[in-house]
Every structure is written in C-alpha cells, then in structure tokens.
Structure 1
Amino acid sequence: MDGPINPEEAALLEEVRSARAAKCTVAGNRFHLDASLAYRIQEHLGAHRPVRGYKLGLVSPAKQAQMGITTPIYGRIYDDMLLEQPVVSLSRFIQPRFEPEIVILLGEDLSPTAAIHQAQQAIAMAYLGIDLLDSIWAGYRFTLAEVIADNASGGGFLRGKKPLAWPAVGTLRLFIDEHAVAEGSLEALGPVEDHLLWLAHEVGGLKAGQLIYLGSPISAQPARPGSVRVEGPQGSWLAITFLS
C-alpha cells in the first residue's frame, strides 16, 4: 500500500480482513473514506494474487445515484473465485446472493488510454455468468467505501461454456428450483465499451484473457441450496446446483 495510511483506513482494512478470516458479518454504514482509499484497501487485501479479471458493480444510473456516484465500481477476480460447475457448495460463503450477468473474455490488451474502437475490438467472446455475491456487511447495508474495500462484494464466479454472439441483447431471466424469480433487460447494463475504457483507465490497463463480469440488470437474490438456471439471449442457458 503506497503512501501513509490514516487511522480510519487502517481500521477499515482490519475490519474487512478479520471478518473475511472469521467468515462473519459486521455492521456497516460506519466508514466514510474516499473511494480512492477504499480501492487501496481492496488492492492491499489481494496483494500477490494474480488477477484473473474484474467485476463491475453499480452499473445502472439508478444504483449510482443511490450511492452518490456517477461511475460504476469494480472488484478483482482471483483464481480461487472461479468456481467449478455444475455443483457448488454455499458453505464457503458468508451471506451469498445470486446475480446473473453477461461475462466477456478479452482477446486483446486494453491500455489505460485506449479508444472506443479498441474496446470494441478487445471483446473476444461473451458468455452467460453468475456473480455469486458475498459481503461481510450485515444485510448488504454499507457505504461506498465499505463495499469497495470488501472487493465489491465479490464471492465467486461461474461462466457458461457456450459463447454468445456480441453484442448480446435481450433479457436475462433467473429461475430457482424451476420458479421464475426475476428478469431484466440487458439494455440496463449501459454502454459496455465505455465501461471497459473506464475500467482500463482505473486499473492501469486490462490484459488479454481476463474475464470481465458486466454487472446485472436483475436485483441480487438471496442464495439457498437448490437448482439455479439463468436464461439469456440466443437461447442460452446456464444451470448450476447449489448445495448447503
């Protein structure tokens, strides 16, 4: 962590580290650091772990307005967060939630100063995915700094095997135990290439082979054991069995 660390920054870092180690929730809405300091904490907590990709959060203008920001947020994806299919245990998580998403695989590097046409060219493939959210903050009630420091509630990530034609348009639908529980239009994700350029600028560039989870047009649903199915554009689907 470069530069001096202030007492509140140190306290938030230790709060996240301790809660993750103990797999317990803690009360949120207590830390109000600048986002830049929260990202320093996020980076520090993932130090020496290769980054396999990133997740975007708060991509819709409505969610951004609720948090008092005008951009998305991001979290880092590490090897141990990429989950094997078709069966996943929920026991490793604290308070997991299901969030269906579109995932893109980068086929080219994207520099921090890339142009829009380079972002378009960098998208190699797209897939259905599930961002299995997990947060230390009780009831997912947190400040902006708290959610960023806790790696944007990143828990685990699943990706379908069948590529989608890009751009992916249409609707995502989430089914739990064969019951339709939520759906949303992919238009709510906004300008994906603009988000990629913003992300590349923020993290110092993106690399070919990295996965980018684009956020969800569907409100996250509390996770529970059972069968989960995501249906997306072009007849795509992703089915996972979750165990307790």
Structure 2
Amino acid sequence: MELSADALALLEDVRQARASRRTIVSRGGARGVDLAAAYAIQAALGEGLPVKGYKLGLLSPAKQAQMGIDSPIYGRIYPAMMLESPVRLTRFIQPHVEPELAAVLRAPVMPDATPGAAAAAIGGWFLGVDLLDSVWEGYRFSAAEVVADNSSGGGFLIGGRLIDQQPNGVLRLYLNGTLRAEGDLRALGDLHERLCWLATMVGGLSAGQVVFFGSPAAATPAEPGALEVIGPGADCLIARLEAE
C-alpha cells in the first residue's frame, strides 16, 4: 500500500531510532496512522530480507482492550534475529526478556487453514525467549507505534531440544538464579487457532518457518548473566547474556 505522509514520518522515526540506537517518545493516536499502515511500515523496514518466521503479541483480551484493539498483533522474524548464546545486550536499545513457546513448521499453513490443518503442519515445539526491544521510551506506545516497530522484536533464542507434543503447564524464567517471570501456557489460548489467524493475516506460512506464540508471563528487563527458561517436565533453555 502507498504510505501517507504521516506513515512515512513514522517509518523514518523508527528507522532513525533503530539506526542510532536511541529511544523516542510516543505520540499515541496523534500519529494519525492505523494498524494497516503500521503493518506496511513494518514490512518496509524489513524490505528485501527473507522472513524466518513471526512472533505474536498482545494475546489477552485485557491487553488488547488496553491498547484499543480487538485482536493480537504480530511481528516479523528475520534470520539475523535468531540468536545463540552468548547474547551481547549492547546490540539492543532497551532489552527485556520473556519466556515463550515456539513451533517450527514442517508444512505450509494456508490462509484458509483449519485448526486441524495447522496442527498437522507443526513439526515440533521448542522453549524460547523473546528478547524484546523497543524504540519507544519506557515501552510506552500506541498499537500502531508498536506494530510499526516490528512489535518490539529484538532477537530470539530457541531451545536445543525438539519437543514432540505441545507442552502444557507453567513456564518460568530465571535470571542469575532468581525467578523473574512465570505463567501458565494455557493463558495463550488455542495455539492452532492462533496459527490460523496468523496465516490469514500474512497470506500464508511456509515450511521451515518458526512461530513464537507470545508469553504467558510479563516481560522483565534483561541483565548480564545466566538466563534459564524452565518448561513443563524436564525441558529447559539455558543461555548467557553479556554486557558487551
């Protein structure tokens, strides 16, 4: 879609903030940019890059109502955003971490797929970490502003072990041995329905793509040291965060 003058201004603001690694103050609804234009800005920021997958956000009705929307949001994941331990925090502007569940697709998911077809397309599950990053000062933003900024997508970690069956239970995130976040995966809703919604929004998903399903726990500021995500059963993800 052709971007309006307001949308082009938002695009440039986000682009410059990312390039200079600085925060900017939200202008909320005064931007004059709707969600459709915000997604077009998101796409423009990653133009020419292959899409490795997607992340979901704002899954709960309460969070959606707070942001003045009635559906989740999504962001794009590019290959360079898939990280390995150790992770240097200096690559981010204001990094936060949250524990997540991710799925890797073994088959495409069409825009009109049923939940059953979406379930059959999943090749396996992994524990994950969304290393959130935002150009908006203090993580205060409107729905359009956060979508334009790729839904606060900064980087992603994925566990080393493929989980055959969808895990159910509590995810816990520890930083340097201290429990910092926890939540029940049931709060994410029906993940097969979430996958169908995402496929409809983006025009279909491809085999090999990874989808992060959002977090059942609140994000917490990142800090150097040992990061652990403990899932139901014996599954865990361990990584190191470094200051430089």
TM-score, length of structure 1 as denominator length: 0.96
Native 8 Å contact 2:55 2:213 kept in 1: yes
The farther-off stretch of 8-17 and 165-174 is 165-174
Residue aligning to 1:240? 239
The residue type equivalent to 1:151 in the other structure is: N
Residue aligning to 2:51? 51
Native 8 Å contact 2:181 2:219 kept in 1: no
Native 8 Å contact 1:32 1:144 kept in 2: no
- What secondary structure is seen at the aligned counterpart in 2 of 1:234? coil
Counterpart CA distance in 1 for 2:138 and 2:209 is: 31
Can you list the C-alpha shifts for 1:89-139, whole angstroms capped at 9, x where unaligned?
A: 101000000011001001110111112211110111000000000000000
Residue aligning to 1:15? 13
User: Is 1:177 matched up with 2:176?
Assistant: yes
Tell me how many residue pairs correspond in the alignment: 241
Counterpart CA distance in 2 for 1:227 and 1:196 is: 31
The residue type equivalent to 2:21 in the other structure is: K
Q: Which runs of 5+ in 1 are unaligned?
A: none
| 1:1-244 superposed matches below 5 A | 2-3=1-2, 5-30=3-28, 31-85=31-85, 87-244=86-243
- What secondary structure is seen at the aligned counterpart in 2 of 1:51? coil
Q: Which runs of 5+ in 2 are unaligned?
A: none
Counterpart CA distance in 2 for 1:191 and 1:140 is: 27
Counterpart CA distance in 2 for 1:27 and 1:220 is: 20
Q: Percentage identity across aligned positions?
A: 50
Native 8 Å contact 2:110 2:199 kept in 1: yes
Can you list the C-alpha shifts for 1:119-165, whole angstroms capped at 9, x where unaligned?
A: 11011100000000000000000000000000000000000011223
TM-score, length of structure 2 as denominator length: 0.96
Native 8 Å contact 1:99 1:220 kept in 2: yes
Aligned Cα root-mean-square deviation (Å): 1.0
The farther-off stretch of 214-223 and 174-183 is 174-183
**1:32 Cα offset (Å):** 4.2
The residue type equivalent to 1:73 in the other structure is: I
